[in-house]
Amino acid sequence: MTIAPTIHYHRGDLPSGLTFPQGIAVDTETMGLNPHRDRLCVVQLSGGDNIAHVVHLNRDLQAPVLASLLGDPSVLKIMHFGRFDIASIHHGLGVLCEPVYCTKIASKLCRTNTDSHGLKALCKDLLGVDLSKHQQTSDWGAESLSPEQLTYAASDVLYLHALKARLDGLLAREGRTTLAEGCFRFLPTRALLDLAGWEEPDIFSH
C-alpha cells in the first residue's frame, strides 16, 4: 500500500526547529532559467521521510531560517540538476549550498546505457514511480500556489533520497563513486561560474 505524502506549506520562511538527520532533498521553482533576471519563488525540501516542506518565498527573499539550513556545511543537500538550484539559491538567498549530491550527475556517470537522465525518467526507471510534470511551467510568482503546484513541487523532492540510495549502489558497482564525489565537490564552483558569466564556453576546453 502506498502512503500519501504529507505536504507542509510555509509562507516566507521555514519554521525553526526542523532537523534533517539524513540530509535534505532540495529543489527550486523560479520565474525562468536566468537567475539574474528570474526571481526565486519556491524552495521545497524533504528529509526522505515522505514529508515535503514547500517554502513560498516573499518577494524580498528574506528567509533566514531557510538560508541558514541551506548554507549549513554539516547538512548534505541532495538535488537533481543541482547546478541550476545552487546558482538560484546563491543569487536569491546569498548562501552557497555545500556539500551537495546531484542525482543527475550520478545517473550520467553510472547509467551510460541510456540518455534519459531527467527526474521523471529516473523515478520511473529506478523506483517505478510515474511523476507528473504538468505544472513545471506554471506561474510560480503568483501570490498563492494551487494544490496542483504544491503537489508538483513536493514530488520533485520526495524521491531524491531513494534515488540517491539506488544510484550509490550503481556508482559502486561501476567503480565510479570517487569520480562522482569529485564532481559533487566541484558543482558549487560550477554554479558560481554560471553566475559570473561562464555558462559557455567550457573553460576547460582547449
Nearest Cα to Cα of residue 10 among 40, 52, 50: 52
Model pLDDT, residue 166: 98
Model pLDDT, residue 76: 98
> Contact at 8 Å (CB) between 171 and 110?
yes
Average pLDDT score, the chain: 96
CATH superfamily ID and name for 6-195: Ribonuclease H-like superfamily/Ribonuclease H (3.30.420.10)
pLDDT band at residue 1 using 50, 70 and 90 as cut-offs = low
Q: Which residue has the higher pLDDT, 62 or 3?
A: 62
Nearest Cα to Cα of residue 164 among 32, 36, 26: 26
Domain boundaries, the chain: 6-195
- The Cα diameter of the chain in Å comes to 54
The predicted-structure confidence for 7-59, as pLDDT tens digits, reads as follows 999 999 999 999 999 999 999 999 999 999 999 999 999 999 999 999 999 99
The predicted-structure confidence for 115-139, as pLDDT tens digits, reads as follows 999 999 999 999 999 998 776 778 9
Model pLDDT, residue 88: 98
Cβ neighbours of 102 (radius 10 Å): 24
pTM of the model: 0.96
